[in-house]
Chains A and B, each alone.
Chain A
Amino acid sequence: MDVNEGTRWRAEVFISLRPGVNDPQGLAVRDGLRRLDYTEVEDVRVGRYVQMWLRAPDRKTAEERVGLMCDQLLANPVVEQYRFSLEPA
């Protein structure tokens, strides 16, 4: 694929631990919020946020490529899950 062709997309990727995997960072943040009197906070999960700019001929191709990138590097499927959004940039 010619890297200069196609639409330029911005991908926002959100990576977090899978449900059921203990997230001590989230627990520590939750306890911190409660100590600040935000007693309504029931649960906190902390994750990672990645932005990428890429070129792809169409949205479907961009989605496929970003999905592969998440599976192969950005997230570790053993313990993490991800979701992402795409917009022309």
Chain B
Amino acid sequence: MRFAVVTFPGSNGDHDALMAIRLGLGHAAELVWYTETDLSRFDCIIIPGGFSYGDYLRAGALARFAPVMSAVAREAEAGKPILGICNGFQILTEARLLPGALLRNASLEFVCDWVWVRVEQTRTPWTSQLAPGTLLRLPIAHGEGRYYVEAEQLVALEANGQVVFRYVDADGSPTADANPNGSVANIAGVCNERGNVVGLMPHPERAYDRFVGGDDGLRILASVLSVGLEVAHGPR
């Protein structure tokens, strides 16, 4: 598998993602500059965390117009696995590649912590190797992570199986206390209708080894390798 990790001006999770893929997964990864216009040589794409364009106007609003985003949209259309982490999630919602929006945390505070998330959906390439209901311990670090969709769209998301991750307590219950930012329905991550584009606020790439506090994030990144097997051996 060849992973692309996109670097925007202001990205800071790009090297974390690179290290997680190279050291954690042992796969090839390349940093791709935001001016790139062709990503067809990659098998999957990661839009990393950070503060692209200083979060000016709205988080992710300006990165959406970077040249590389046309290529990302093209690969999304082609069905390639794309993962947006934190600011990457914000960018993908602003680009309308994912539904909803991410607003200022309900607490108005930047939250830096470890949280539990529950895997709600395994039809995406990023969760295909996980059992539904799996609990993962992942770090979060964001000021604008409050996921929002209108009530009727939330019903549609749930019905379409587009809610991928939910904040839960250690017992797996999506309680109000387990919700770090006030997201609707404790949503931590969603996917597009097709399922190939996933975004989440927690940082799987910062949990790729027990040495850095945990390795649950690696299970998300490793899931996508099954897509590579299909490429190599044909669909099973």
- Enumerate chain A interface residues (CB-CB to B < 8 A): 17, 21-22, 24-25, 28, 48, 73-74, 76, 78-79
**Contacting residues, chain B, for A25 (C-beta < 8 A):** 104, 108
**Contacting residues, chain B, for A73 (C-beta < 8 A):** 57, 61, 65
CB < 8 Å A-B pair total = 33
Measured CB to CB, the nearest residue on chain A to B153 is A78
Whether B105 pairs with A24 at a CB distance below 8 angstroms is yes
Tell me if B58 is interfacial: C-beta within 8 Å of chain A.
Answer: yes
Whether A78 pairs with B105 at a CB distance below 8 angstroms is no
Whether A79 pairs with B57 at a CB distance below 8 angstroms is no
Contact (A24, B58) CB under 8 Å given A78-B100, A78-B101: no
Tell me if B94 is interfacial: C-beta within 8 Å of chain A.
Answer: yes
Whether A79 pairs with B101 at a CB distance below 8 angstroms is yes
Whether A24 pairs with B108 at a CB distance below 8 angstroms is yes
Majority secondary structure, B binding face? loop
Tell me if B111 is interfacial: C-beta within 8 Å of chain A.
Answer: no
Majority secondary structure, A binding face? mixed
**Contacting residues, chain A, for B182 (C-beta < 8 A):** 22, 24
Bound complex: CA of A86 vs CA of B122, how far in Å? 50
Contact (A74, B104) CB under 8 Å given A22-B182, A79-B148: no
Bound complex: CA of A74 vs CA of B108, how far in Å? 22
Bound complex: CA of A48 vs CA of B56, how far in Å? 12
Bound complex: CA of A22 vs CA of B105, how far in Å? 10
**Contacting residues, chain A, for B108 (C-beta < 8 A):** 24-25, 28
Q: How near does chain A come to B203, taking the closest CB pair, in angstroms? A: 23
Tell me if B40 is interfacial: C-beta within 8 Å of chain A.
Answer: no
Whether B58 pairs with A76 at a CB distance below 8 angstroms is yes
Whether A24 pairs with B107 at a CB distance below 8 angstroms is yes
Bound complex: CA of A6 vs CA of B226, how far in Å? 59
Measured CB to CB, the nearest residue on chain A to B60 is A76
**Contacting residues, chain A, for B100 (C-beta < 8 A):** 78
Tell me if B141 is interfacial: C-beta within 8 Å of chain A.
Answer: no
Bound complex: CA of A21 vs CA of B183, how far in Å? 12
Which of B57, B61, B93, B106 lies in contact with A24, CB distance below 8 A?
B106
| Those of B84-127 within 8 Å (CB) of chain A | 93-94, 100-101, 103-108
